[in-house]
Structure 1
Amino acid sequence: MLSNRMEQAINDQMNFEIFSANIYLSMVSYFEDRGLPGFAAWMRAQYKEEIFHAMKMFDYILGAGGRAKISAHDAPPQDWESPLAAFENALEHEKVVTGRINGLMDLAQQEKDHASQIFFQWFVSEQVEEEANVGDIVSKLKLVGDGGALFMLDRDLGTRVFTEPVE
């Protein structure tokens, strides 16, 4: 059984994951408009991953006897100065998510909520991967600039597919 405080905290994060998904969906549109379908495909997979995270939390709340509550979200950004700026924004956002996940783990430890600690361990590991993946693309974009290599990177990013983890 979740404490009221833990239930509210997970609900807040679940809704933040939905907001995160909306940011990435907005980036899909931005990249499509710029003629970068590979970048758009990468962000579409990222969108699906964030929705998966939100649903994982949704199901956890329900399974632990709580009530999942969907809230309103602010509109995400619509434009970025460049593909690099979009990915830098994504990296900064993932760092915020990491801090929030770490805060949830801290709360679970304070409340001696062992089930939630186990649940959040997956997200702690996931955030290490998230930051590394986006950080790698930021590094590549800094190397290629806006020249012809951007076309090749677009093609490479277009190969990303979201595959739901097997648990």
Structure 2
Amino acid sequence: MEHEGKSITGPVTTLITREIKPDRMNDFEEWVKGIYQVVKGFEGFLGADLIRPRDHSHPEYVVVLRFDEYEHLRAWMGSTEREEWLKRSKEMTVGELNIQEAHGFEPWFTLPDHPHTQVAPAKYKTVILTILALYPPLLALSTFLAFVLPGWPRPL
């Protein structure tokens, strides 16, 4: 699948930011429970999280949706069910809906207070950090197993 000139494979995460009217926060949380029941029936849905606002005078919620692949996310984003649920939320919200998609390891490195102001790290930084985090423990495990199991191949 191509998106903005890039090939996308693997899991995709979507961050949806919405400011809610302060007197409608409880209604919005009930709305989130309802839409969750709908989205979890969609193919490829992996899970969702709700990040509640810290400042109740400016209640901005972040909904995190995870799908196994981009095509399944697009199916949800283009569905009539989603559109109907969004119409129900209009009376509870202020301003426009903000949607940001993150692919691969990006969500690990960008858990923003305001996702629309964050920029994902450069891909090479993500690769370097992943290698530095994974290689040493795997090398230690392989060395330990080679000691415990003499026939085990030596690490590189």
TM-score normalised by L of structure 1: 0.30
Q: Which has the higher helix share?
A: 1
Say which one has the larger Rg: 2
Structure with higher strand content: 2
